[in-house]
Structure 1
Amino acid sequence: MAVTQRRGRRIMMSPDELDAFLATERTCRVATVSADGAPHVSPLWFAWDGTSLWLYSITRSKRWADLRRDQRIAVVVDTGQEYGELRGAELSGTVEFVGESPRTGDPCPELDAAERLFARKLFDLDEMPHDGRHAWIRLTPDAITSWDFRKLAELQDEA
């Protein structure tokens, strides 16, 4: 995973902090490029395996159509209400489509770990339920930028 962050290094998350953050948050915002070149942003649940972000998207969505045409993507995961609580990460790169489309549950060893992770995190189940309307998208990010504004208080204490 390439971390290309130049600015804000003092408040960026460490690799362990980033992994913990992405493992616990549930919702991301996915930005794609529409056919007319306009950006399209939509919320989606996700799972993080330590290397890749796994997105389970409805195959009849605008997001799916956008990514089928242009695999470039940016994803933001963030949390916090007050300024000093803000934390988040932006991941960007090119996606890959994994498994059958739509997913009905045919054996796909490449999806075993991701589906188990997703099912436990989001449904509290041991197996992934398949509805024949969704399919898998994997983002192994080319770039990650992160921030944790809680570190600002620590920096002020050091000053």
Structure 2
Amino acid sequence: MKEQKRSRKIAMTPEEVDAFLAEQRTVRVATNGTNGPHATPLWYVWHGGAMWLTSLSRSQRWADLQSDPRIAAVVDAGEEYLKLRGVEIRGRVEVVGEVPRTGEPVPELEGPEQAFADRYSGGTMHHDGRHAWLKLVPEKITSWDFRKIGG
């Protein structure tokens, strides 16, 4: 993975990145489409060093990623300047499991699906036959925590 070169003084440690991604609930993802960039919010889980995204399999985002799996994902928080913090993850997604997801046993999805269910649906994973899983393994992580500026 590429090392963060800029703003290292306000960068989060790997432990801080893990904690931040575990507490936030929404990610904004940007894909490359034939008509230009496409940005959308999604729910996610950070599990095993990867960002797991559930996406409608009949969507512009899905179509974009089938032709170009590169993606940028941003999770951010804070209202005031000295409280802004966030993480940008860049990489390529891979599809895991059946498309759309109906619940067939997929060992690689056991952990992410349980984490997703615990976070968003009271511990039970619901497969609606419309969504599928995308796994984003970071090629580069950039983070910032303006609380480290002080003042």
TM-score by length of 2: 0.97
**In the alignment, structure 1 residue 72 sits paired with structure 2 residue 92:** no
SS, match of residue 16 in structure 2: helix
| Alpha-carbon offset, residue 50 of structure 1 | 4.0
Report percent identity of matched pairs. 56
The equivalent of 1:140 in structure 2 is: 137
2: CA distance between counterparts of 1:105 and 1:19?
Answer: 27
Structure 1: distance between partners of 2:23 and 2:67: 31
Name the counterpart of 1:32. Answer: 31
1:16 and 2:30 equivalent?
Answer: no
Unaligned runs of 5+ in 2: none
Alignment-mate amino acid for residue 141 of structure 2: I
User: Residues 10 and 50 (structure 1 numbering): CA distance in 2 closer, same or farther, change over 3 Å?
Assistant: farther
Give the C-alpha shift of residue 123 in structure 1: 1.6
The structural deviation recorded for 1:121 is: 1.2
Question: Which structure's CA Rg is the greater one?
Answer: 1
Distance 2:14 2:37 in 1: 29
Q: What one-letter code is carried by the residue in structure 2 that aligns with 1:62? A: Q
**Count of residue pairs the alignment pairs up:** 151
TM superposition score normalised by structure 1? 0.92
RMSD: 1.0
Distance 1:115 1:123 in 2: 11
| Deviation of the 1:3 alpha carbon | 4.8
Query: What code does the residue aligned with 2:14 have?
Result: P
- Residue 47 of structure 1 corresponds to which residue in structure 2? 45
1:29-84 CA deviation, whole Å, 9 max, x = no partner? 00000123x11100001000141000000111110110011100000000000001
Matched position secondary structure for 1:132: coil
Q: In 1, distance between residues paired with 2:107 and 2:125?
A: 13
SS in 2 for 1:140: strand
* Equivalent position of 2:91 in the other structure: 93
Residue correspondence of structure 1 range 58-137 to structure 2 within 5 A: 58-125=56-123, 127-137=124-134
Determine helix, strand or coil for the equivalent of 1:112: helix
4+ runs deviating over 3 angstroms: none
Q: Deviations over 1:17-40 (max 9, x none)?
A: 00000011110000000123x111
Give 3-state SS (helix, strand or coil) of 2:49's partner: coil
Query: How far apart in 1 are the matches of 2:122 and 2:20?
Result: 18
